[in-house]
């Protein structure tokens, strides 16, 4: 059985005569998404454990392009994919160029405001991105790694993330997140998201990110090769589609380095084992919590986070000790964007009186090297309902 989003294998006879040795052959299946024709290659394994010829059924078709170690493990992996896809409330859109998934906000995902935290939102963005990658047949043993990437020990790492939340969902609310991927020059890709309240279709948030390729062994950045680009561009929109199409939007703004002395600080932050992800470094969502650790308490009490931009400068490992520094940014340095109807949402004009902006720096406590630059924007909390 194939994972959801992968095309069904071509019809084949239910029974084949297999020789004493296992046999592998290839089937090619074509399908069209819009105006694009996609050809997928399936490795079909005829498995025979006896020394004599016998009937084998069913055939096992796998859309990975790689021969796995054994048929039993293949069947188990395929079964797990099928179960996950059946339970997951997500699927590719009709044109196959984006992915939508619904999530119910759980009680442990809300914070002191009784709404989802920014870390929850960021984790959901990461989750839906990974599920999108699985839906088009990419790897489950890394964050959206393609066949070529796995062969060359390459991984995707976050270079920049920008998130804006116009209204935070509460416990038991259902949100729908749409995501899609596009090329970003020769060194990376971009992934965008739109978040909606599933009950009424209201856009409650948007996000965009840039990802670059890193060699898992050397930990050095590497250009995106044509082979890798061809593997994922077939699943990308044909024309540029941006979550933030408005000119001079805050997602594009450069973040200057925060100089000492900072107004606020939280020193000696230590990564927990649970902060490490499958890429063997501190996950990008952890940096958000670290940056907010040095926000003054009076802001936490009276405001809620409206927008956050993070520039990831270097990866953080298990043994690193991190200092979080924060200073206020004068409002005049960051003009508010006047939103019109964008991506189906109308956002009100920003009131400078109710906004507070901060610059953040995460750095290594030992070497002083930059780990992350961050900018946050806070609005006054809405009146309690």
Do 108 and 150 lie in one domain? The reply is yes
Sign of CA dihedral 200, 203, 205, 211: positive
Lowest mean pLDDT among 25-34, 251-260, 309-318: 25-34
Q: Which residue has the higher pLDDT, 267 or 47?
A: 267
In our burial notation (b when 16+ CB lie closer than 10 A, e otherwise), range 13-49 reads: eeeeebeeeeeeeeeebeeeeeeeeeebebbbbbbbe
**Does the annotation mark 279 as catalytic?**
yes
Do 144 and 292 lie in one domain? The reply is no
**pLDDT tens per residue across span 6-49:** 444 333 333 333 333 333 334 444 444 454 444 444 343 334 43
Q: Is the pLDDT of residue 304 over 90?
A: yes
Do 98 and 212 lie in one domain? The reply is yes
**Does the annotation mark 360 as catalytic?**
no
Do 207 and 273 lie in one domain? The reply is no
Residue 201 belongs to some domain of the structure: yes
* Total Cβ atoms within 10 A of residue 254: 8
Q: What percent of the chain has pLDDT over 70?
A: 71
Average pLDDT, the chain: 78
Three-class SS of residue 228? Answer: helix
Q: Residue 78: its pLDDT value, please?
A: 46
- Write down the catalytic residue from 132, 281, 303, 360: 281
Element (H, E) at 77: helix 71-87
Element (H, E) at 233: helix 226-233
Do 126 and 213 lie in one domain? The reply is yes
Residue 222 belongs to some domain of the structure: yes
The CATH number of whichever domain residue 308 belongs to comes to 3.10.129.10
Do 232 and 321 lie in one domain? The reply is no
Q: Is the pLDDT of residue 206 over 90?
A: yes
Do 264 and 225 lie in one domain? The reply is no
Q: Which residue has the higher pLDDT, 120 or 230?
A: 120
pLDDT band at 332 (very low <50, low <70, confident <90, very high): low
Do 274 and 373 lie in one domain? The reply is yes
pLDDT band at 150 (very low <50, low <70, confident <90, very high): confident
Q: Residue 81: its pLDDT value, please?
A: 58
Q: Residue 385: its pLDDT value, please?
A: 53
Q: Residue 147: its pLDDT value, please?
A: 84
- Write down the catalytic residue from 279, 283, 284, 372: 279
Strands 355-364 and 370-380: antiparallel
Residue 44 belongs to some domain of the structure: no
Sheet-wide strand order for 36-46: 23-33, 36-46, 60-62
Tokens (6 digits) for 161? 């993330």
Domains held by the chain: number: 2
The last residue of a domain, from among 196, 212, 240: 240
Domain, as residue range, for 91:
84-240
- Write down the catalytic residue from 85, 132, 284, 316: 316
Do 236 and 108 lie in one domain? The reply is yes
Residue 370 belongs to some domain of the structure: yes
**pLDDT tens per residue across span 83-103:** 877 888 999 999 999 999 999
Q: Which residue has the higher pLDDT, 294 or 1?
A: 294
**How far from 180 is each of 20, 90, 197, 334, CA to CA, in Å?**
46, 13, 18, 28
**Does the annotation mark 250 as catalytic?**
no
Residue pair 99/178 in contact by the 8 Å Cβ criterion: yes
Q: Which residue has the higher pLDDT, 314 or 384?
A: 314
Q: Residue 229: its pLDDT value, please?
A: 86
Do 188 and 303 lie in one domain? The reply is no
> How far apart are the C-alpha atoms of 187 and 202, rounded to whole Å?
34
Arithmetic mean of pLDDT, 354-369: 94
């Amino acid at each position: 059985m194939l994972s959801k989003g992968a095309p069904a294998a071509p019809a084949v006879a239910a029974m084949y005569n297999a020789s004493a040795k296992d046999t592998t052959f290839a089937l090619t299946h074509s399908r069209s998404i819009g105006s694009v024709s996609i050809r997928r290659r399936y490795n079909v394994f005829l498995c025979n454990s006896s020394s004599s010829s016998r009937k084998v059924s069913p055939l096992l078709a796998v859309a990975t392009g790689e021969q796995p170690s054994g048929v039993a493990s293949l069947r188990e992996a395929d079964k797990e994919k099928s179960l996950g896809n059946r339970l997951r409330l997500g699927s590719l859109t009709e044109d196959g160029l984006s992915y939508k998934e619904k999530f119910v906000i759980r009680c442990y995902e809300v914070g002191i405001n009784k709404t989802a935290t920014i870390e929850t939102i960021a984790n959901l963005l990461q989750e839906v991105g990974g599920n999108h990658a699985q839906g088009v047949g990419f790897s489950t043993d890394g964050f959206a790694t393609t066949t070529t990437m796995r062969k060359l020990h390459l991984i995707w790492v976050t270079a920049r993330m920008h998130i804006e939340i116009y209204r935070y969902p509460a416990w038991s609310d259902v949100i729908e997140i749409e995501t899609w991927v596009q090329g970003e020059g020769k060194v990376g890709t971009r992934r965008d998201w739109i978040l909606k309240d599933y009950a009424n279709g209201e856009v409650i948030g948007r996000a965009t990110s840039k990802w670059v390729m890193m060699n898992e062994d050397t930990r050095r950045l590497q250009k995106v090769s044509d082979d890798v680009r061809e593997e994922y561009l077939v699943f990308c929109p044909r024309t540029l589609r941006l979550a933030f199409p408005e000119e001079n939007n805050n997602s594009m703004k450069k973040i200057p380095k925060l100089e000492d002395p900072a107004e606020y600080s939280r020193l000696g932050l230590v990564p927990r084992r649970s902060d490490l992800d499958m890429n063997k470094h501190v996950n990008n969502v952890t940096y958000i919590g670290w940056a907010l650790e040095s926000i003054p308490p009076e802001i936490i009490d009276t405001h809620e986070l409206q927008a956050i931009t993070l520039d990831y400068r270097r990866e953080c490992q298990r043994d690193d000790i991190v200092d979080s520094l924060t200073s206020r940014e004068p409002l005049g340095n960051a003009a508010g964007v006047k939103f019109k109807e964008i991506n189906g949402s109308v956002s009100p004009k920003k009131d400078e009186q109710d906004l507070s902006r901060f610059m953040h720096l995460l750095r290594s406590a030992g070497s002083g090297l930059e780990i992350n630059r961050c900018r946050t924007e806070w609005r006054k909390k809405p009146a309690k309902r």
